[in-house]
Amino acid sequence: MTQLIVILMTMILVNNFVLVQFLGVCSFLGVSNKMESAVGMGSAVIFVMVLAEIVTWPIYQILEKLDIAYLQTVVFILVIAALVQFVEMVMKKYIPALYKALGIYLPLITTNCAVLGVTILSISSNYNYIQSIVNGLGAGIGFLLAMVLFSGIREEKLWDNTGIPAAFQGPALTLISATILSLSFMGFSGLFS
């Protein structure tokens, strides 16, 4: 049980896929300007990451037995694409406002390297099935945490009335803010081993 908690907390804080490993930055920057969209995208990523772990771990075991484990990346991408299509159809039918708010970024989960990265990380770390699922859950929660924190910064527009030079306004300020948020997560390194 302790090992599962360590895996979960490590993926949320120490090895946060967005803020520490810089995976999934496209959707992080694209959808984080409104809290509702950030929470929706983060929730969708959690769902896809956990489902991806549930499905890809047994598939990898089969690939390993058939001696074709070198196909893992291709197979994992296909599985993730199918899962994202499933999530997209469900959101379109049951949560159309969020589906519209996420726009192009929802299909981008298919090519989100964070989702593929978490499945490959579980395999390379030799996690068992439960550890693999907890790893995916932790990575998804870490993604959601990063999205919510950054959308809080962007939504409040803390920098509007501070006299920021023109060269630092717009995308430059967004990237600088993301960098400072990322640096804050460096303080968690070494917390869990």
- Tell me the per-residue pLDDT of 86-125, one tens digit each, with 9 for 90 and over: 888 888 899 888 788 777 777 777 667 888 889 999 999 9
Given a contact cutoff of 8 angstroms between Cβ atoms, the answer to whether 147 and 41 are in contact is yes
pLDDT digits (tens, 9 = 90+) for 39-74: 888 888 888 899 899 999 999 999 999 999 999 999
Predicted confidence (pLDDT) at residue 1 exceeds the cutoff of 60: yes
Predicted confidence (pLDDT) at residue 161 exceeds the cutoff of 70: no
pLDDT score at 193: 60
Q: Which residue has the higher pLDDT, 92 or 160?
A: 92
**pTM, two decimal places:** 0.84
C-alpha 86/C-alpha 30 separation (Å) is: 22
- The mean pLDDT value of the chain amounts to 85
**190: helix, strand or coil:** coil
Predicted confidence (pLDDT) at residue 38 exceeds the cutoff of 70: yes
| CA dist 155 → 40, 69, 149 (Å) | 15, 44, 10
C-alpha 176/C-alpha 64 separation (Å) is: 43
Predicted confidence (pLDDT) at residue 132 exceeds the cutoff of 80: yes
C-alpha 96/C-alpha 178 separation (Å) is: 29
pLDDT digits (tens, 9 = 90+) for 163-175: 777 777 778 888 8
Angle between helices 35-65 and 72-94 (to 10 degrees): 140
C-alpha 169/C-alpha 138 separation (Å) is: 33
pLDDT category of residue 157 using cuts at 50, 70 and 90: low
C-alpha 132/C-alpha 118 separation (Å) is: 9
Q: Which residue has the higher pLDDT, 75 or 187?
A: 75
pLDDT score at 156: 67
Centre a 10 Å sphere on the Cβ of residue 7 and count the other Cβ atoms it contains. 25
